[in-house]
Amino acid sequence: MRIIVPLQGIVQGRGGLILGSLIPCALLYFFQFYLKRNRSSPPPDSPSASTANLPELTGIPRNSSRTSLPTRGSIRPVPVSSRATAIARDSDSAYYTGWKKYLEDPYHPTSNPDGIIQLGLSENHLSLDLIEEWLAANLQKSLLGEKRGDLSISGLATYEPLGGLMDLKIAMAGFMSQIMGGSVSFNPAQIILTAGATPAIEALSFCLADPGNAFLVPSPYYPGFDRDINLRTGIKLIPVHCRSSNNFSLSIAALEREYKQAKKRRIKVRAVLLCNPSNPVGNILHRETLYDLLSFVTDKNLHLISDEVYAGSTYGTEEFASIAELLDTGAFDNSRVHIIYGLSKDLSLPGFRVGAIYSYNENVISAVSKLTRFCAISLPTQHLLVSMLSDTKFIEEYLKVNRERLAQMYALFVDELKQLGVECFKSSGGFYCWVDMSKFLKSYSVKGELELWENILNVARVVVTPGASCHCIEPGWFRFCFTTVTERDVPLVMKRISKVLKDHKASQ
Amino acid sequence: MARGIRPGAPLSKIAVSKAHGEDSPYFAGWKAYDEDPYDAVSNPTGVIQMGLAENQVSFDLLEDYLEHHPETSSWGSGISSFKENALFQDYHGLQSFRKAMASFMEQIRGKRVKFDPDRMVLTAGATAANELLTFILADPGDVFLVPTPYYPGFDRDLQWRTGVKILPVHCHSSNGFQLTLASLQSAYSNAEASNFRVKGLLITNPSNPLGTAMSRSLLEEILDFVAEKNIHLISDEIYSGSVFSSPEFISVAELVETRRHETCEGIHIVYSLSKDLGLPGFRVGTIYSYNNRVVTTARRMSSFSLVSSQTQKMLASMLSDEEFTANYIRTNRERLRKRHSYIVEGLKDAGIECLKGNAGLFCWMNLTQMLEEKSMEGELRLWKMILNEVKLNVSPGSSCYCVEPGWFRVCFANMTEETLDVALRRLKVFVEKIKGRKKKMIS
């Protein structure tokens, strides 16, 4: 079964299985029709596979109980909303080929060496042993009322203050400061805690713009933004294309152009959204660029959202500077600046659902705090993290070792890919290589990119993310995550990919 | 925080709107408590919190369980189970946890129904569940019918970000504030006449703030009504485990199973562990839907409010321990029943009647005779007096959109018996004072 996804729909990293984008790509759909003759849709009520992780297209399992009897008696189904229709249609036509394939046949070095290797998920598996060790030593105390010194669930279970426990805000402020190398301090009163960075960015977006307004986003960008920011808010994302000729760095001139264009089309731009360190490119914005950005948003009276979830996952020689650093100088009105953070990347704890918004704007803090009623962090998790994040010695050691491991894996991947004749962009952070496979494309186009992507998936049996799903304007770039495999797996990965590359080179 | 010379980048309409409802007296009373909280030793004249529907009567059972089952709060030996859990952000939720929730919900309903774990969508609390369902079932500008009096948080949950509007279906003391088919029909007709698109009906069963469970015949009528109008039914059953006296709780799930000849595609249940298990801080809620499409789409949208994998793992073993849950449900009910009797007696002694209730963590008090003026203003004046002079935070009926002034919700499960005693004594004194004042005014 070959079903091609409008590839913005592949969302890795935040949200796991969650489908992304609502933004159609006409070319992708045409390509889909092109391949349709090879495509067979799954039957609507086929029983689900054994794992609970499978996306729902296979339907809910039938059993004899009343609970899953098909509709009888009513000719008119009760309607659902247009937002529900969009998220359903998007997934019906856009299937998680890569993710599903991986789940059906996941690679394992000993038990399933021929399985699909997952390099499309921006998760860090390299340093969880460090956290597990810490937990083994500290768990009992931290989970159940260490503060009271007894197993007191009543302290755990009552309604928490809006926006999270003050203790966790304090610990998070300290952690963020440690992450940023101590060059800036964060005020706990300006932190709002949420169940992950996904609801953080959505809640913030709800407060900064109305439906139909727009955010300018340097591209290529994280595919999940399309869902996180647009699905329920109705806010548009306008990509500001960055190019390889310019090292994929953001040009203020390009920003100006898109802003003017939007104005012409009578679209109200309300904010610029950055991801720094960036996903999928992995570059770090220079202080000068941040400064220019602050000037730009001040001039146009816009908000600036800086998503810094990878701030602690840097490994290059370039130094990371949070936007917070530039605000310390007092040269800019900081009421327009908001930072998104979370523990899914830097601390490898996506399952625990811990995110944060850091804002300098009282009204934003007040509004977002109320919105956390919909996305609060579970109290036992908060307590656990208060203990962990307050152990600054452990955090320091963890950050150091994790960075080393990231640097090592990154270097290994880059070297090995180079041996195959594949160049990578020089990244400084994140969990991925930004890989230039343009010279392997049979045609220098999105179609060509998707064809290569498909072969890497079906022939090499490796999941990677094509640049098209990240809105990259130049075809041929791919994101390969290197943090979900071990060093021992790398030769196999390269061997499999090289076969496909040889085929592609040969047919050129 | 710096403020610029210019007003700064503008915020959205949602950010500045008051649709979050937090300015209501319902929430304002909490603030008064926060500023001057009662403590038997350190602040005996402080405000006693009777406006928060929390269940604190059965914590010891949970603590006991956790103490005897340390594996609940650990990930077991070896890194792989921790690693798996730490990385688990699948919006399907842990299967073991969904199974445990389904089993717990079945037990609450005396095992008269079966819940399919694959129809369960997990959310960070019932607050998120109600909002999520609203996003899935209705578009901005659509309307949900909600019987009054209703939980004030619904304004925020159903309207704030979704753009959906609540159309209240008023209930009256003449029949014990029960919802009637006639009032539903009339509300629906009025909506149609005003060109509103009604997309669903939200009932809370057992009711907050009334503390009563719906009768089978009423539920049958409701199911007929929603089927006829082809609208959705959301049954918020978060207090289902706190039905402590007859009539027995009947869930829409039971009716769905008996009405086999009909479609149930428009039926959805909301549940949470915040009330029955007294764990609001854990943020565990669920949508149970009989509609495949709703399950699928709600699940995808639940990314914005997932339950911590750590919490799911912790609760999975506890909730699938049937011996524990059966004992918990039974004991919790009994303690609530006792507490309820105690407060009803105490209020009676103070000269206050309550609506006859059989569920929930609160009583619906009738203070209509104590109003100087039978109006909303009169009610709010009385509320302020009770808050500022008697130092009790109770919830005025107007914050629940009750059309008859003078009714108040008073919670009884979020404090010790001693504190409840203090509250009842204060109330008695206050009622006598008011009666005395009124006598003087008449004579």
Query: Residue B273: how many CA atoms within 13 Å on its side-chain side?
Result: 30
Taking CA–CA distances from A159, the nearest residue in chain B reads B281
> Mutate which of A72, A378, A388, A398 to disrupt the B interface (most B C-beta within 10 Å)?
A378
- Residues present in chain B in total: 443
* Contacts by residues A292-295 (CB-CB < 8 Å, ≥ 24 positions apart): A292/A252, A293/A250, A293/A252, A293/A255, A294/A323, A294/A326, A294/A327, A294/A331, A294/A332, A294/A337, A295/A332
Does the pLDDT value for residue A454 go beyond 70?
yes
Share above pLDDT 90 across residues of chain A, in percent, rounded to a whole number: 70
**A166-208 pLDDT, tens digit each:** 999 999 999 999 998 888 999 999 999 999 999 999 999 999 9
DSSP states of A86-100 as a string?
Answer: HHHHHHHHS--HHHH
Least Cα separation, residue A488 to chain B (angstroms)? 18
| Token couple for B328 | 């918990």
Preceding peptide of B117 cis, ω within 30°: no
Q: What is the mean pLDDT of chain A?
A: 84
Can you tell me the mean pLDDT for A126-144? 80
Which of A19, A301, A373 has the CB atom closest to B127's CB atom?
A373
Which of B8, B161, B283 has the CB atom closest to A336's CB atom?
B8
pLDDT at residue B407, as a whole number: 98
Question: Does the CB of A351 have a partner CB in chain B at under 8 Å?
Answer: yes
Query: Residue A91: how many CA atoms within 13 Å on its side-chain side?
Result: 26
pLDDT at residue A154, as a whole number: 55
Least confident of A46-50, A245-249, A404-408: A46-50
Q: How many beta carbons lie within 10 A of that of residue A299, not counting itself?
A: 10
Share above pLDDT 70 across residues of chain A, in percent, rounded to a whole number: 79
Q: Which of residues 185-224 of A touch B (CB under 8 A)?
A: 190, 195-196, 198-199, 202, 206-210, 213
> Mutate which of A165, A373, A387 to disrupt the B interface (most B C-beta within 10 Å)?
A373
Does the pLDDT value for residue B398 go beyond 80?
yes
Calpha distance A368→B367 (Å, rounded): 37
The residue whose two tokens read 């953070």 is A341
Catalytic residues of B: 151, 236, 238, 275
DSSP states of A180-206 as a string?
Answer: TTTSS---GGGEEEESSHHHHHHHHHH
Phi-psi category of B163—alpha, beta or left, where left has phi over 0 and alpha has psi -120 to 50? left
Calpha distance B372→B378 (Å, rounded): 6
Calpha distance A185→B228 (Å, rounded): 60
- For A133, counting Cβ atoms within 10 Å of its Cβ (0-12 exposed, 13-18 middle, 19+ buried), the class is middle
Which of B263, B303, B309 has the CB atom closest to A351's CB atom?
B309
Question: Does the CB of A236 have a partner CB in chain B at under 8 Å?
Answer: no
The residue whose two tokens read 């390509």 is A31
CB contact under 8 A, B304 and A199: yes
**B23-62 pLDDT, tens digit each:** 888 888 888 898 999 999 999 999 999 999 999 999 999 9
Helix (H) or strand (E) holding B104: helix B95-108
Least Cα separation, residue A344 to chain B (angstroms)? 8
pLDDT at residue B139, as a whole number: 96
Which of B9, B22, B297 has the CB atom closest to A88's CB atom?
B297
What residues does each domain of chain A span?
1-29, 93-127+396-506, 150-394
Q: Is A384 helix (H, G, I), strand (E, B) or coil?
A: helix
Q: Which residues of B touch A14 (CB under 8 A)?
A: 89, 303
Does the pLDDT value for residue B78 go beyond 50?
yes
pLDDT at residue A35, as a whole number: 43
pLDDT at residue A266, as a whole number: 97
Helices then strands, each counted (H, E), chain B:
15, 13
Question: Does the CB of A110 have a partner CB in chain B at under 8 Å?
Answer: no
pLDDT at residue A161, as a whole number: 80
Least Cα separation, residue B194 to chain A (angstroms)? 20
CB contact under 8 A, A15 and B89: yes
Which of these, B17, B12, B2, lies nearest to A359 by C-alpha position? B2
Calpha distance A156→A147 (Å, rounded): 10
**A48-73 pLDDT, tens digit each:** 333 333 334 333 333 334 444 444 44
Q: Which of residues 293-332 of A touch B (CB under 8 A)?
A: 297, 301-303, 330
- List the beta bridge partners of residue A433: A480
The CA–CA distances, whole Å, from A233 to A44, A275, A457, B13 equal: 30, 20, 34, 12
Least Cα separation, residue A421 to chain B (angstroms)? 33
DSSP-derived secondary structure letter, A47:
P
Helix (H) or strand (E) holding B286: strand B285-289
Q: How many beta carbons lie within 10 A of that of residue B69, not counting itself?
A: 13
Calpha distance A499→A145 (Å, rounded): 56
Least confident of A38-42, A211-215, A425-429, B136-140: A38-42
Work out the pLDDT band at B188, boundaries 50, 70, 90.
very high
Which of these, A368, A378, A76, lies nearest to A201 by C-alpha position? A368
Query: Residue A502: how many CA atoms within 13 Å on its side-chain side?
Result: 9
Can you tell me the mean pLDDT for A345-371? 97
Which of B3, B280, B296 has the CB atom closest to A56's CB atom?
B296
Can you tell me the mean pLDDT for A34-51? 34
- Looking at domain A150-394, does it have CATH number 3.40.50.1980? no
Greater confidence (A98 vs A70) lies with A98
Q: How many beta carbons lie within 10 A of that of residue B77, not counting itself?
A: 9
Does the pLDDT value for residue A3 go beyond 90?
no
pLDDT at residue A4, as a whole number: 38
> What ipTM does the predicted assembly reach?
0.94
- The answer to whether the CB of A157 falls within 8 A of the CB of B59 is yes
Can you tell me the mean pLDDT for B409-433? 95
- The answer to whether the CB of B39 falls within 8 A of the CB of B413 is no
Work out the pLDDT band at A96, boundaries 50, 70, 90.
low
pLDDT at residue A113, as a whole number: 94
Q: Is B241 helix (H, G, I), strand (E, B) or coil?
A: helix
DSSP states of B150-207 as a string?
Answer: --THHHIIIIITT--EEEEE---GGGTT---HHHHHHHHHHHHHTT--EEEEEEESS-
Calpha distance A508→A502 (Å, rounded): 10
Calpha distance B327→B329 (Å, rounded): 6
Q: Which residues of A touch B278 (CB under 8 A)?
A: 157
Least confident of A372-386, B18-32, B221-235: B18-32
Size of interface A-B (CB pairs under 8 A): 312
Can you tell me the mean pLDDT for A451-476? 94
The CA–CA distances, whole Å, from A167 to A382, A383, A399, B296 equal: 9, 9, 22, 37
Phi-psi category of A10—alpha, beta or left, where left has phi over 0 and alpha has psi -120 to 50? beta
Those residues whose C-beta lies under 8 Å from the C-beta of residue B177, and which sit 6 or more positions away, are B149, B171, B207, B210, B212, B355, B364, B402
Can you tell me the mean pLDDT for A307-333? 93
**B244-265 pLDDT, tens digit each:** 999 999 999 999 999 876 789 9
The CA–CA distances, whole Å, from B247 to A39, B53, B209, B216, B360 equal: 56, 22, 18, 10, 13
Calpha distance A452→A433 (Å, rounded): 17
Which of these, A3, A477, A15, lies nearest to A247 by C-alpha position? A477
Model pTM score: 0.90
**Strand A465-466 versus strand A477-481 pairing type:** antiparallel
CB contact under 8 A, B2 and A195: no
Which of these, B137, B154, B20, lies nearest to A207 by C-alpha position? B20
Q: What architecture is domain A93-127+396-506? A: Alpha-Beta Complex (3.90)
Least Cα separation, residue B350 to chain A (angstroms)? 30
Q: How many beta carbons lie within 10 A of that of residue B422, not counting itself?
A: 19
- The answer to whether the CB of A399 falls within 8 A of the CB of A476 is no
Side chain identity at residue A315, one-letter code: Y
Which of these, B239, B242, B269, B241, lies nearest to B253 by C-alpha position? B269
Q: Which residues of B touch A77 (CB under 8 A)?
A: 265
pLDDT at residue A397, as a whole number: 97
Work out the pLDDT band at B436, boundaries 50, 70, 90.
confident
Calpha distance B319→B111 (Å, rounded): 15
- Residues present in chain A in total: 508
Question: Does the CB of B23 have a partner CB in chain A at under 8 Å?
Answer: no
Does the pLDDT value for residue B321 go beyond 80?
yes
Can you tell me the mean pLDDT for A469-474? 95
- The answer to whether the CB of B358 falls within 8 A of the CB of B88 is no
- The answer to whether the CB of A9 falls within 8 A of the CB of A21 is yes
pLDDT at residue A114, as a whole number: 95
Question: Does the CB of A46 have a partner CB in chain B at under 8 Å?
Answer: no
